[in-house]
């Protein structure tokens, strides 16, 4: 990752520690851990001392770490990352020189390159370009700024990204800082400038919203820089939960895995408002979700839940409109020698392989070992 910036930001980090979580929900010590299985490899991301997010590429069969890369700065919990459309998408939290200021952005690296231990951000690019992979979220930055200086209440912000194409993402935002978007258009109706405005009423009284925005990442090769285009609100949901979450998609439906281990999905539309409901799928407090693993080759996700009592089997189920839990027992799986969170993800991936639930549990035959 950006070596020079890493040093500067790490120094600034300790001078400003604690700032970025002031306006977020309280993070839990244990939150659902994400993993992905791709062509016989397991991708796991860890939060190192609440400072850096590291991406590990591990062999499913023998547990060998094939790659260990710093994916992003990560001050907030839970760590946010996605895979989709040929890329690995981690969020990045970095400080700028202004005191008490942290910004959020989205990086993306070619997935094939990442699996080979390389950070490449554009087609035909090299690792020398990876330092410019970040695109700052002006929307999240504005919510933070207004929440810090303009509101008469404690502000709340939780979010996650979902890639929808190679250069477009959706941003899911739950907040009580209700900003309005004002667009200034130019010739042809294109948005030339976008402002985020907080009304006096909304500055005095919190108004909860759950909004999905879509934006396009634009690469400017002349200075090797990325930026996010205008944000377009495409959907709003009722605020059913108020905690950190991670988003998944299946067809036209969205799924939300919360920090407390619950699962929600978008449901039917209301007749009068045409707004989709948020319906609970899994809410068993005695069996909270602890891990979810995506078979990227088959586009299937499996969720694993904590046993009610220590020593008992847990339950797992495939992501879908209805949960159909089945027991799982990791004591019968080849143990991993890795530390957590790698250990928990690898052993659950091996369980799925043993159950013949993975499309490609082994790497391609022509793939050379390191």
One DSSP character per residue, 247-295 reads: EEEETTEEEEEETTS-EEEEEEEPTTT-PEEEEEEE--TTS-EEEEEEE
Percentage of the chain lying above the pLDDT 90 cut: 52
Residue 124 burial (CB count, 10 A): 6
Give the C-alpha separation, 18 to 304, whole Å. Answer: 31
Asked if residue 361 belongs to a domain, the reply is no
Asked if residue 362 belongs to a domain, the reply is no
pLDDT at res. 69: 81
Q: What is the pLDDT of residues 328-362, one digit of tens each?
A: 999 999 999 998 889 999 999 999 999 999 999 98
Strand-pairing partners, residue 142, are none
- Among 289, 250, 294, smallest CA distance to 42 is for 294
Q: What is the pLDDT of residues 176-216, one digit of tens each?
A: 999 999 988 777 777 778 999 999 999 999 999 999 999 99
Number of domains observed in the structure of the chain:
1
CA 136 to chain centre: 15
pLDDT at res. 153: 95
Asked if residue 367 belongs to a domain, the reply is no
Q: How confident is the model at residue 31 (pLDDT cuts 50, 70, 90)?
A: confident
* Residue 59, CA distances (Å) to 256, 330, 350 in order: 28, 18, 10
What does the block give as tokens for 280? 């609970």
Strand-pairing partners, residue 27, are none
Give the C-alpha separation, 50 to 13, whole Å. Answer: 10
Here the CATH number for the domain that contains residue 94 is 2.115.10
Asked if residue 160 belongs to a domain, the reply is yes
Asked if residue 368 belongs to a domain, the reply is no
Residue numbers of the domain that contains 257: 3-12+23-354
Asked if residue 158 belongs to a domain, the reply is yes
Q: How confident is the model at residue 49 (pLDDT cuts 50, 70, 90)?
A: low
Asked if residue 363 belongs to a domain, the reply is no
Asked if residue 56 belongs to a domain, the reply is yes
Q: What is the pLDDT of residues 33-47, one digit of tens each?
A: 999 999 999 999 887
Give the C-alpha separation, 93 to 76, whole Å. Answer: 8
């Amino acid at each position: 990752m950006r070596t020079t910036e890493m040093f500067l930001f790490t120094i600034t980090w300790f001078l400003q520690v604690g700032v970025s979580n002031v306006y977020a929900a309280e993070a839990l010590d244990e939150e659902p851990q994400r993993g992905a299985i791709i062509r016989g490899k397991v991708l796991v991301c860890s939060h190192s001392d609440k400072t850096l997010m590291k991406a590990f590429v591990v062999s499913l069969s023998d547990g060998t770490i094939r790659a260990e890369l710093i994916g992003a700065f990560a001050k907030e919990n839970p760590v946010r990352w996605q895979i989709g459309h040929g890329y690995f998408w981690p969020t990045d939290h970095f400080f700028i020189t202004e005191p008490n200021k942290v910004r959020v952005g989205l990086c993306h690296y070619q997935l094939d390159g990442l699996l080979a231990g390389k950070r490449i951000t554009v087609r035909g690019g090299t690792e020398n370009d990876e330092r410019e992979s970040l695109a700052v979220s002006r929307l999240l930055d504005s919510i933070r700024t207004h929440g810090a200086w303009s509101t008469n209440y404690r502000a709340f912000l939780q979010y996650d990204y979902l890639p929808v194409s190679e250069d477009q993402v959706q941003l899911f935002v739950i907040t009580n800082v209700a900003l309005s978007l004002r667009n200034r258009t130019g010739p042809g109706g294109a948005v030339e400038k976008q402002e985020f405005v907080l009304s006096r009423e909304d500055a005095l009284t919190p108004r909860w919203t759950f909004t999905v925005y879509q934006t396009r990442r634009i690469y400017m090769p002349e200075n090797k820089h990325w930026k996010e285009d205008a944000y377009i609100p495409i959907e709003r949901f009722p605020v059913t939960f108020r905690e950190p979450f991670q988003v998944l998609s299946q067809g036209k439906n969205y799924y939300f895995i919360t920090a407390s281990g619950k699962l929600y999905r978008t449901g039917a539309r209301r007749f009068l408002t045409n707004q989709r409901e948020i319906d609970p799928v899994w809410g068993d407090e005695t069996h909270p979700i602890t891990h979810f693993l995506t078979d990227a080759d088959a586009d299937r996700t499996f969720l694993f839940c904590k046993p009610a009592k220590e020593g008992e089997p847990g339950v797992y189920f495939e992501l879908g409109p209805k949960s159909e839990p089945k027991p799982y027992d990791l004591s019968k799986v080849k143990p991993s020698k890795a530390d957590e969170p790698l250990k928990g993800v690898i052993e659950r991936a091996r369980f799925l392989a043993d159950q013949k639930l993975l499309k490609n549990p082994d790497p391609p035959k022509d793939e050379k070992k390191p």
